Structure 1
Amino acid sequence: MGIKSFTGKRAEPEKPAEVPISVKDYMTSDLVTFRENENIMDVMEKLIKHGISGGCVVNERHELLGIISEGDCMKQISDSRYYNMPMTDLTAGKRMNCKVETIDGNMNVLDAAKKFIELKFRRFPIVENGKLIGQISQRDVLKAALLLKGQNWH
């Protein structure tokens, strides 16, 4: 007669919960945006008020037209002073960068880090079905990396 074990059935080891890893999971969707006809002085005021270094310029259908940054505003200040031109009639549309690089919301957030390094940008808009749905910044990627530590980063 064999000896019976009373230890019972072993429980399966718990798998760590899957942590979301797509850009969409870490992007900011509550964005401060600008309009093409918005005065450059109002743009600067919004940048300062919201503590941001730039933002997306969109139309009334929320389609991305460009990005305007502190640097674009600084260039305008410099040009206005140099050419002795008033800034009151200048708009975001005249100063925005229209060549905007976007990121796919389904991209792995850690692959996005590589894109930040390669292109030296501070932020990438995320567009879906032609509409701006969010933006991811370098800081968002850092936050994601902290949440993902100990996970498989592939």
Structure 2
Amino acid sequence: MAHSVKLRDYLIPNPATVKPGDSVLDAMQIIINNKISGVCVVDDQHNLVGILSELDCLNASLGSLYNDSGIGLVRDHMADSGLIVAHPEEDIIDVAQDMLAKTKRRRPVVENGRLIGQVTCRQLLKAIAQFQR
């Protein structure tokens, strides 16, 4: 049986997002409620501007406790440079190999500058399991 190898067929559409001006506490609640390891950060036009991971939130939390300060905004703790994104027409095997090489558990999927989804290790495992059948 033939299977698609295009990322478009395996991505999570409409992943959880936050805005740069949102509180890290609000972002943490989204991460906890959705049982995910991070969120995509988008602007008002839904362009990807960063990624906020659980580790970023933990770092912000511990820093605020240590410094006896507020936890801050997403923009203060998100990764926003050197973001690696995927295109929906990319081959899932190529994306999986690159995610392994860069030790990243998730990759935003962008089309025409806008975030349209995200692929995670779990989606890639599901695709591989399908191929094995």
**Corresponding residue of 1:96:** 78
**Corresponding residue of 1:128:** 111
In the TM superposition, what are the counterparts of 1:82-121 in structure 2 within 5 Å?
82-87=66-71, 90-99=72-81, 100-121=83-104
**Corresponding residue of 1:73:** 57
**Corresponding residue of 1:21:** 5
Q: TM-score, normalization: structure 1?
A: 0.82
CA distance in 2 between partners of 1:20 and 1:76 (Å): 40
In the TM superposition, what are the counterparts of 1:9-48 in structure 2 within 5 Å?
16=1, 18-48=2-32
The one-letter amino acid paired with 1:62 is: H
Q: Secondary structure at the match of 2:12?
A: coil
Aligned length: 132
Over residues 62-106 of structure 1, what are the superposed CA-to-partner deviations in whole Å (9 max), with x where a residue is unaligned?
00000001100100111111111122xx11111110021111211
Q: Which contiguous aligned blocks of 4+ residues in structure 1 show a shift greater than 6 angstroms?
A: none
**Greater fraction of residues in helix:** 2
CA distance in 1 between partners of 2:14 and 2:114 (Å): 14
CA distance in 2 between partners of 1:103 and 1:61 (Å): 19
Q: Secondary structure at the match of 1:133?
A: strand
CA distance in 2 between partners of 1:76 and 1:51 (Å): 19
Q: Secondary structure at the match of 1:96?
A: coil
**Greater fraction of residues in strand:** 2
Could you say which structure has the greater relative contact order, defined with CA pairs below 8 angstroms and 6 or more residues apart?
Answer: 2
Shift of 1:60: 1.0
Q: What root-mean-square deviation, in Å, do the aligned CA atoms of Structure 1 and Structure 2 show?
A: 1.1
Larger Rg: 1
Structure 2, unpaired ranges of 5+: none
Q: Secondary structure at the match of 2:63?
A: helix
